Chains A and B, each alone.
Chain A
Amino acid sequence: MNREWTPRIVAFVCNWCTYAAADLAGTSRMQQPDSVRIVRLMCSGRADPQFVLEAIANGADGVIVAGCHPPSDCHYQEGNYRAFRRFMLLRRVLESMGVEKERFRLEWISASEARKWVEVVRSMTEDLKRLGPLRRDEEGIKVE
């Protein structure tokens, strides 16, 4: 595999915690792989499973959904729990489609956890480099 290949990750992040953590990583000049494209939502509860599927259909090698820590950090009381429940179901669907579980992550990252954000970006980028690009064939998404 080409060593220069960089995976593409789409991150659906909530405005209050994880987006702010990514901002803080920026203001702290924490260098990161250039793999992530952030889609800002107001709450991780807005991360519609359809968005995840569409990101994969549009070339994402991996998807992150990230929001505020349970139980009580969520700006909207319990949107993060909704995100969690959807994630568990969706991951099973994706696995049955042949998408390895490393390609879909749910993370709780508070506004102060810039370091954690960078760590998630790094480790997921490494995981995906190891797995290689997500292959899509005519019968759907399959790796092997």
Chain B
Amino acid sequence: MSEKPRIGIYICHCGLNIAGTVDVEELARYAASLPDVIVARDYVFMCSEPGQNLIKEDIKEKELNRIVIAACSPSMHEQTFRSVLESAGLNKYLLEMANIREHCSWIHSDRRKATEKAKEIVRMAASKARYLEPIEEKTFPTTRNVMILGGGVAGMRAAIELAEYGFEVYLVERKPILGGKSAVIGYISPGIRGKEIVQKMFERIRGNPRIHVFTQAELIELKGFAGNFTGKLRIHPKHVNERCNECGECEDACPIEISNEYDFSLSRRKAIYKPFPGSYPEGYIIDDRVCVKCGECVRACRRKAIDLDGEEKLIEIKFGALIIAVGYDPYRPSKGEFGYGLSDSVLTLFQLERLLDEDGPTRGEPIVRGKIPETIAFVQCVGSRSTTPSSRPYCSRMCCTSALTNAIRLKEKHPEIEIFFIYRDIMTYGSDEGLYEEAGKRMIKFIKYEGEPPQVQITPEGVFIEVTDYLLQESIRIPVDAVILSTGMIPPRDLGDVIAVTRATCGEEGFLREAHIKLAPVESPTRGIYIAGSVSGPKNIRESIISGSAAAAKAMALISRGEVVAEPMIAKVDEERCSGCGICISACPYNAISIEEKEGDRLARVEDALCMGCGTCASACPSGAMQQLGFKDIQIRAQISALSEVEGK
């Protein structure tokens, strides 16, 4: 900016918060002596209306073109004072805050020392202010629709919210049906069952023309930026068309039989199958991974609904926001872990859920090894809350509640079954705490242990569980007919593919990381990409649904205005200085920089909408060509050089 700086410095007393420790009048006199300072004033509350008017009038009358506010932290009032500049006709980025409250008056008691420090802080800010430049805010038009990855409860909920608000939604599910795990594990929390919840959601999705469902589909490419994404979907062929009336004759004809993942391997299914009654989208499915294309089903089908020759399709979709809701995988114990895989008497909690489902492999009866067990032991925290290499340190939140709910259901159905509940701590948080009491009333026996986990012994005489009871301080050995391992949640196996395409990041435990756990939950660090459900960490059905709604609200806030304001303090290339070396490209966490040819020169180019304004590229640039607006080298260096005394004007 060639215009000579005319700086106004405004020193706030903040009542006595600043003035009680810093000699604000002396500070104002000192500030007025700094180079290019036209006016320096102190006032009791700069953020008050009279305080703001003081600044506005000075800007107009004294033709100020840089403002320094010496007051509180910028996180407090930077926006307030930016608006003041704007309403006085000055670009709002010609403002520098000098934090003399949180970083000075509140942390020192010696008035002389605090005043001297405040002078330095103001001097540094004024020095930077001399080099401030106006920054223009750019806006980009948005595509007013949303893509959702994952058709479980969180993704479906988000889709319903968005569609009912009037936005087009592309609901993309990798599996052939919607519903996720909630569709097959009914009682992960008490009250309405998971399968009823998903059925209700199916009804709303079925009746809504704005929700476009893509099953057996995956996002294989993502380009663009918040408000303007383009995604490429790979859609696997369905092979069965809508003429299918689910008569089931194809299933009988199919010679291929494999373990049924929808029953967690408790039953078997054919290569052509229907996952469970009421699964959606309707109709039979061919599992291409195992189908040998023998054609038996085609011959059996009287409605000619089957075509084995379908090919996969690639389609491109434009959307403004992306919600990732790809869920979780149940933790699968390793072979031999608490006897898992060594005996059919050892089941996971997810398998028990299937046994207790009336549409499940045993029609709702808890049949283990051919009979209803007389004694069942639940083992809590399997693979969770432990630091052994195969385990995870976190709590999966839902297993205690789900295990107790199912233990109570077992007791309701078969009061004669003796149930032992072996645990370290019980985390039925919130209103689920009532389950613990209910379980006690139904004579479920709680055995607490600490340290050494229980041993499940598979012997020719039967299954035994040995554990040291914490209260008795004695080792006990119980013969049992069934052991239920309360396994928790782990990040889904295919999350790596999603991360590779979306550049979402995961935290230590492998779940997707939110931009900030409290300040920006359901937001990913990349603008325009949101996270819902258990993919960001274990959640129960209720919590997943809430996060689905929350992610939908965040997506709406982004796309509903029709345009997005880009981050203002972004990187900018000085083309005269750029040699096109590309070091900035490797420094950028957002892939926002590319090299392009321009009149024979190789030059770095910043995609404004992708740049988030960290400034890392500017530090990496060897020639000083890459600069961050608002934090240019010259601005920061001026701030630093003001450490040593500057001459008066």
The interface of chain A, by Cβ under 8 A from chain B, is 8, 10, 19-20, 22-23, 25-27, 29-32, 34, 36-43, 45-51, 54-55, 58-60, 71-72, 75-79, 82, 86
Q: Is the CB of B614 within 8 A of A40?
A: no
Q: Is the CB of A34 within 8 A of B106?
A: no
Q: Is the CB of B616 within 8 A of A43?
A: yes
Q: Is the CB of A78 within 8 A of B589?
A: yes
9 A-B pairs closest in CB distance: A26-B102, A46-B615, A45-B616, A76-B614, A43-B614, A77-B589, A48-B619, A26-B106, A58-B643
Query: Which residues of the partner chain B approach A40 to less than 8 Å between Cβ atoms?
Result: 74
Q: Is the CB of B110 within 8 A of A34?
A: yes
Q: Is the CB of A58 within 8 A of B589?
A: no
A58 to B636, CA, bound (A): 13
The interface of chain B, by Cβ under 8 A from chain A, is 73-75, 99, 101-103, 106-110, 113-114, 116-117, 120-121, 124, 505-508, 513, 515-516, 525, 569, 587, 589-590, 612-616, 618-620, 628, 631, 633, 636-637, 639-641, 643-644
B116–chain A nearest beta-carbon distance, Å: 8
A116 to B420, CA, bound (A): 46
Q: Is the CB of B643 within 8 A of A37?
A: yes
Query: Given that A37-B120, A78-B589 are known contacts, is A54 also in contact with B641, CB under 8 Å in the complex?
Result: yes
List the A residue with the shortest CB-CB distance to B101. A26
Q: Is the CB of B643 within 8 A of A60?
A: yes
Query: Which residues of the partner chain A approach B525 to less than 8 Å between Cβ atoms?
Result: 75-77
Query: Which residues of the partner chain A approach B101 to less than 8 Å between Cβ atoms?
Result: 26
Q: Which of B107, B619, B637, B640 contacts A45 (CB 8 A)?
A: B619
A87–chain B nearest beta-carbon distance, Å: 11
Q: Is the CB of A50 within 8 A of B102?
A: no
List the A residue with the shortest CB-CB distance to B515. A75
Prevailing SS type, chain A contact patch: mixed
Query: Which residues of the partner chain B approach A42 to less than 8 Å between Cβ atoms?
Result: 569, 613-615, 628, 631
A55–chain B nearest beta-carbon distance, Å: 5
Query: Which residues of the partner chain B approach A82 to less than 8 Å between Cβ atoms?
Result: 587, 616, 619-620
Query: Which residues of the partner chain B approach A27 to less than 8 Å between Cβ atoms?
Result: 102, 106
Q: Which of A26, A47, A79 contacts B589 (CB 8 A)?
A: A79
Q: Which of B74, B107, B620, B636 contacts A41 (CB 8 A)?
A: B636
Query: Given that A8-B643, A58-B644, A72-B505 are known contacts, is A46 also in contact with B74, CB under 8 Å in the complex?
Result: no
A117 to B114, CA, bound (A): 19
Query: Which residues of the partner chain B approach A48 to less than 8 Å between Cβ atoms?
Result: 618-619, 633, 636
A77 to B575, CA, bound (A): 27
Query: Given that A41-B631, A79-B589 are known contacts, is A32 also in contact with B640, CB under 8 Å in the complex?
Result: no
Query: Which residues of the partner chain B approach A25 to less than 8 Å between Cβ atoms?
Result: 102, 107
Q: Is the CB of A58 within 8 A of B103?
A: no
Query: Which residues of the partner chain A approach B508 to less than 8 Å between Cβ atoms?
Result: 71-72
A48 to B615, CA, bound (A): 9
A48 to B635, CA, bound (A): 13
Q: Which of B107, B619, B633, B644 contacts A26 (CB 8 A)?
A: B107
Query: Given that A45-B619, A46-B616 are known contacts, is A55 also in contact with B643, CB under 8 Å in the complex?
Result: yes
Query: Which residues of the partner chain A approach B505 to less than 8 Å between Cβ atoms?
Result: 72, 77
